[in-house]
Amino acid sequence: MQQMAGELAHHLGKRATDKPLSNCWQYGFKKKWESRISTLKPSALDSNRAKHSTPEIVAKYFKNLEVAIAEYGLQERPDCIYNLDETGISPEHRTPNIIAPIKEKAQAAASPRSATTTLIACASASGHHLPPYFVFKGSLKSKQTKF
């Protein structure tokens, strides 16, 4: 924010250089607008997921889901409809704090930098669920068995 504000001030002729504004300016800016903005820590969103989460792709997914449910006659069978989801948990990733409108829930795209532990969850539309599964990083070495 300080970098962009410095560039804007230079472009508008308010400053001689386009260097970032000071921390003091940032604190003053946040103080002046505290009724409208806040500093928060966004939740991480994988860069691939962010790139492929457009309204068109989400609409296409739900259209395909509707077609599949009709094709297999599952409208009245929520016990036969399961959703499985997996997510990576990275112990080393830290997203930066951002400034956003009050009561805003923000996400920051991040690229994976370290080994992740995978969490898998599965539940049916009727509410039945399986216990969560964790998949930890393993070794690529295979043990050879002698017979």
For the stretch 77-133, pLDDT in tens is: 999 999 999 988 776 656 666 677 777 666 655 555 567 788 999 999 999 999 999
Strand pairing report for 107-110 and 98-101: unpaired
* pLDDT given for residue 35 in this prediction: 86
* pLDDT given for residue 51 in this prediction: 78
Rg of the chain's alpha carbons, rounded to an integer? 24
| pTM for the predicted model, two decimal places | 0.43
Alpha-carbon gap, residue 40 to 32, rounded angstroms: 17
- As a whole number, the mean pLDDT across the chain is 82
- Neighbouring-strand partners of residue 82: 124
* pLDDT given for residue 89 in this prediction: 78
Look at residue 45 and give its three-state secondary structure: strand
